[in-house]
Amino acid sequence: MINKAVYIGAGLDIIPVLLYQDIKKFIFIDSQPQSEFGEFGFTEKKFFKNNFISTLNNIMKKNNFTLITTSNNLLVFVNKDTEQEICYYINTPFPIINQEVINELKDSTILILCGHDPHIKILEYMTPVRIICNLHTCYNNNKDCYEIPELSTTLKLYDMQNIQNIQYFLYAERTEYNFWKYEEVKPDIVKEFDKYEFNNIEEMNKKKTELYNELY
């Protein structure tokens, strides 16, 4: 089975793809350009991100990914050098997904959780054995939630404690880095990051806190 990773709310972030070249297929899902807020405002024109597609294409080109397929809301990019493929489902506010997307999720075993907590329904479609995290996302169990915590529909890492044999992967910049400036990302950015592996959430959060305090 091919290594396949899922990134819900991927936006313009291609950094995990560059850092983990052993993963050959990525499923990106985002409600943009229709709206950057998922279902919220999805039918309102004022939330449409006019420059999203052009910016996305520029970032992909800069990182040697070529657009080979455009079909409805699916964009497929391929990097022939690294043999990686990104299937990007745009205008797709998770968990409102069609059967095509569900089928892609079913044989995916890697979940990217960077900057966005997806709907917990993701666990109905896939069982992650590898989770990729970054330095700037809060993974604490008791983090603030706009909903009543016990009724929250948001996935948190602690929701997966009963899933056996999950590995946690953390990537962290070596120097202070404006990680949100995705337009500036180029392949050589991999030199600016370190990668770590952990067998449980607690170990990862401890290391993450140490790294963040040292850096910022």
Written as six digits, the tokens of 210 are: 């140490």
- The region of weakest confidence among 4-13, 19-28, 131-140, 177-186 is 177-186
Order of strands across the sheet that contains 167-173: 66-71, 74-79, 84-89, 25-29, 4-8, 110-113, 130-134, 167-173, 193-198
Domain of residue 36, residue span: 4-215
The pLDDT tens digits for 9-66 are 999 999 999 999 999 999 999 999 987 766 666 666 666 777 999 999 999 999 999 9
Structure-token match 């807020």, residue found: 37
- Pull the structure tokens for residue 156: 């948190």
CA distance 54 to 58: 6
Domain tally for the chain? 1
| Structure-block tokens of residue 1 | 């089975």
